[in-house]
Chain A
């Protein structure tokens, strides 16, 4: 399983490195989202600063949709997913590999977006341990849930429009938990941020487990 996961992750990251879709399209899209929020809330920079955690995670969430869609759009075959099915790879390994590749892209994107909220929103990114733990747990959760629902939608003609409809409600707890944890780390709320980070970790564990167990069936039915 781990060998197959490394193989798939390496393949997906090599595809992204060569096509540069993540750097030339997904990252600029996320930055444009930040800038547009900036325009919408421009008259009061205090609001932008206070809302920076939520706006950051909304941008991450929207970008994760693109990353997940891309992850399945690149799959080869006469029928979507044929290449993966025919490869004979362990479905759990395929899931872990694809989720890891999406997670790596989201992690890189978050570095860019973090710089964006500091520059554009004048955000103060204090509490680095909580910020990083939140990012790690939320990224794994988003990548795992995205990969599960990406596989579910992959074989459908309406996958581009269906995936957001399926995925966004499911990852709403990630948006909520990550925003609350970041607000606590940035000193914008008195909540216990670590409890929110724990919620994110539970979400991640649930979806990684679900993906490992169910991805084979999802791949066959897609």
Chain B
């Protein structure tokens, strides 16, 4: 089976700065891969590149069978990126935000209510403007959008940040459920213990490159 993510000597520039300076990475279907590294190592840029948001200036990159050098747009409906702000509209309610994300991705709007319920966004919270929610609640709404969209590739940037203990456990359950359902997950996290327990493999980045050594975790 072809890898879900395949980067070969991929280079991406942010301005003139090489945020990715020759990344080699392969992620197989159903894997949970943890990206680790110091601030500025290139983890977020790599996740954004996987989502087709960052143009690559050289090298090869294929995500879900889409050649990112040739066409970065076509992969976007099939990946879900949970960034730092969660791509939410502050003035819309939680339910409206999730419904928009699902309909934009061509998904089934019937998945909205169960996803919100799964993330504990119930009652009045559903119609409350996202800008009025706490950081943790916003994170839950963004996760609900991801769950409702059910993308083939989950790209999670510091997914545990802002969540309480119950929220972190729930996130881990959601990731495992997504993988059990056929999805693949790449996450970047500084919370080594929790994220390592979740991931099947850890990839360390430094200076915009993947370090040669990878560590595999035994489930």
| Residues of chain A whose beta carbon lies under 8 Å from any beta carbon of chain B | 4, 7, 11, 14-15, 18-19, 74, 76-79, 82-83, 85-89, 216, 220
- Are B104's CB and A7's CB within 8 A? yes
Q: In the complex, A7→B53 CA distance in Å?
A: 22
Given contacts A86-B53, A86-B76, contact A14 B92 (CB under 8 A): yes
- Are A7's CB and B92's CB within 8 A? no
- Least CB distance from A209 to B in Å reads 21
Query: Across the two chains, which residue of chain B brings its CB closest to A94?
Result: B104
Q: In the complex, A149→B101 CA distance in Å?
A: 25
Query: Which residues of A have CB within 8 Å of B194?
Result: none
Interface of chain A, main secondary structure? helix
- Are A15's CB and B92's CB within 8 A? yes
Q: B87 is contacted by which of A15, A19, A74, A86 (Cβ under 8 Å)?
A: A86
- Are A76's CB and B87's CB within 8 A? yes
Query: Across the two chains, which residue of chain A brings its CB closest to B101?
Result: A87
- Are A74's CB and B104's CB within 8 A? no
| Residues of chain B whose beta carbon lies under 8 Å from any beta carbon of chain A | 51-53, 55, 72-73, 76-77, 79, 81, 83-93, 96, 100-101, 103-106, 129
- Least CB distance from A37 to B in Å reads 32
- Are B106's CB and A77's CB within 8 A? no
Q: B53 is contacted by which of A14, A18, A76, A82 (Cβ under 8 Å)?
A: A82
Query: Which residues of A have CB within 8 Å of B52?
Result: 85
Q: In the complex, A86→B84 CA distance in Å?
A: 14
- Are A4's CB and B104's CB within 8 A? yes
Query: Which residues of B have CB within 8 Å of A82?
Result: 53, 83, 87
Q: In the complex, A11→B97 CA distance in Å?
A: 9
- Are A85's CB and B88's CB within 8 A? no
- Are A19's CB and B91's CB within 8 A? yes
Q: In the complex, A109→B81 CA distance in Å?
A: 37
Q: A11 is contacted by which of B86, B89, B90 (Cβ under 8 Å)?
A: B89
21 A-B pairs with CB atoms under 8 Å apart are A4-B104, A11-B100, A15-B91, A18-B92, A74-B89, A74-B91, A77-B85, A78-B84, A78-B85, A82-B87, A83-B88, A85-B52, A85-B76, A86-B53, A86-B79, A87-B76, A87-B104, A87-B105, A88-B73, A88-B106, A220-B55
Q: In the complex, A152→B119 CA distance in Å?
A: 37
Q: In the complex, A79→B76 CA distance in Å?
A: 16
Query: Which residues of A have CB within 8 Å of B79?
Result: 86
Query: Which residues of B have CB within 8 Å of A77?
Result: 83, 85, 87
